[in-house]
Structure 1
Amino acid sequence: MKYAPEDIQLIKEQLGSHSLSTIARRLNRSMTALEVKITRLGLSHTKSYTGMITAGELARILKIDRNSVMQWILNHELDSQQRITRNKKKFTFINIDDFWAWAKSNRHKIDFSKLELDELPPEPEWVAEERKIAKQVTNYKAWTKQEEKLVLEWHCCGKTLAEIANMLGRTRESIRKKIKRLTE
């Protein structure tokens, strides 16, 4: 049975957001027939079809833990999309251009000196300068009891968030949150 143009359009629209079994059921086709059609259309590889990278691939490229990337998505507004591949397995995909836009305003979270040249094209011009700076990135670093004590002590003495952050090698935002948690 031949696929109508609207059937092909439905496949293109729903591939990645619905499982193949759901799409096959909507088209009244078998899973095997749908898989063959998707392969013939050149849509069988979700990653290449979307032009995005997975959160795990981004973590590997940046030489960080995948959980750090997931925290950027959950807590720091890095745009991503959940896509279903083949049956029901979900992946988190990130558009490379969206990542670079986010990275520009979140430079302090990334050690660009670990990033290989053109590993994540198209690489913006500002990355070359950032790559020269080896950073001690402390994202999600556990707090010690001594650090917590110092934060409260310095805060009570009138030191600014910037001063405390500089002394502990952390961000002002992390200092603000820690003070809030410790004083509540």
Structure 2
Amino acid sequence: MWSDDELLFLEDNIGMYKVSTIAQKLERSYESIRVKMTRLKISNTRQHTGLVTIGELAAILKVDRATVRGWTKKHGLPFSQKITRQSRKFYFIDPSDFWNWAALHKEKVQFSNIEPQTLLPEPDWVAEERMKDKCITKKRTYQTWTTKEDYRLLELRSQGYKYKDIGMLMNRSAISVERRYKKIINTL
């Protein structure tokens, strides 16, 4: 039989400590803690905390998880590390902390990619930023090179065009044109 204090302790500390640590503090077996978590429907500790993982945030922002990880390491996006189940570690981000960080780093986040009201609480200024992003034509994001573009690149290069000029003609950056040209030449 579980006491109210034990249940409260379990609910308060799930996600903060390993399940084995909670079991030790409550003087119960790991299995009994796991079963109780399932019965209380708190087995998914990520949802229980109200925070989002780096992977979940990346999916919401439509960026790679390495990008979000880079923001935490290099640009000060606040996060907390929690251990769930036996030893699995997750990095969590509080949505409020993310929005505060995003307000200071607007150039890093493409707000038009974020669906409205997916990361709550969403501040009022986000809708305005979303509209700005949609109005401003962004630079072309990476697109794979087609075979036609490869042939055109080779043709323009053989005619003596510089990388910068080819880039302008093909709507690509000069560095992208240069790298692609060198890659094609190396594979021939």
> Do these two structures clear the TM 0.5 threshold for a shared fold by scoring above it?
yes
TM-score, length of structure 1 as denominator length: 0.66
Contact 1:111 1:137 (8 Å CA) reproduced: no
Larger radius of gyration: 2
Determine the structure 2 residue equivalent to 1:182: none
Matched, 1:130 2:129: yes
Q: Deviations over 1:110-151 (max 9, x none)?
A: 11121122222322221122112254599xxxxxxxxxxxxx
Determine the structure 1 residue equivalent to 2:75: 76
Q: Deviations over 1:80-102 (max 9, x none)?
A: 11111211101111111111111
Determine the structure 2 residue equivalent to 1:103: 102
1:36 alignment partner AA = V
Q: Deviations over 1:17-73 (max 9, x none)?
A: 221122212322222211122223332221221111111111111111111111211
**What runs of 5+ residues in structure 2 fail to find an aligned partner?**
142-188
1:34 alignment partner AA = I
Contact 1:108 1:137 (8 Å CA) reproduced: no
Determine helix, strand or coil for the equivalent of 1:77.
Answer: coil
Determine helix, strand or coil for the equivalent of 1:107.
Answer: coil
Q: Where in structure 2 are the equivalents of 1:30-41 lying within 5 Å?
A: 30-41=29-40
TM-score, length of structure 2 as denominator length: 0.65
How has the CA–CA distance of structure 1 residues 136 and 109 changed in structure 2, closer, same or farther, with 3 Å as cutoff? farther
Determine helix, strand or coil for the equivalent of 1:109.
Answer: coil
How has the CA–CA distance of structure 1 residues 136 and 11 changed in structure 2, closer, same or farther, with 3 Å as cutoff? farther
Distance in 1 separating the partners of 2:127 and 2:27: 53
Contact 2:15 2:46 (8 Å CA) reproduced: no
Distance in 2 separating the partners of 1:3 and 1:16: 20
Determine the structure 2 residue equivalent to 1:117: 116
Distance in 1 separating the partners of 2:6 and 2:97: 31
Contact 2:81 2:91 (8 Å CA) reproduced: yes
Contact 1:110 1:137 (8 Å CA) reproduced: no
Percent identical residues: 44
Distance in 2 separating the partners of 1:5 and 1:137: 58
Residue 108 of structure 1, CA deviation: 0.8
Contact 1:111 1:136 (8 Å CA) reproduced: no
How has the CA–CA distance of structure 1 residues 117 and 9 changed in structure 2, closer, same or farther, with 3 Å as cutoff? closer
Determine the structure 2 residue equivalent to 1:146: none
Q: CA RMSD in A?
A: 2.2
How has the CA–CA distance of structure 1 residues 111 and 8 changed in structure 2, closer, same or farther, with 3 Å as cutoff? same
Determine helix, strand or coil for the equivalent of 1:122.
Answer: coil
Q: How many residues align?
A: 137
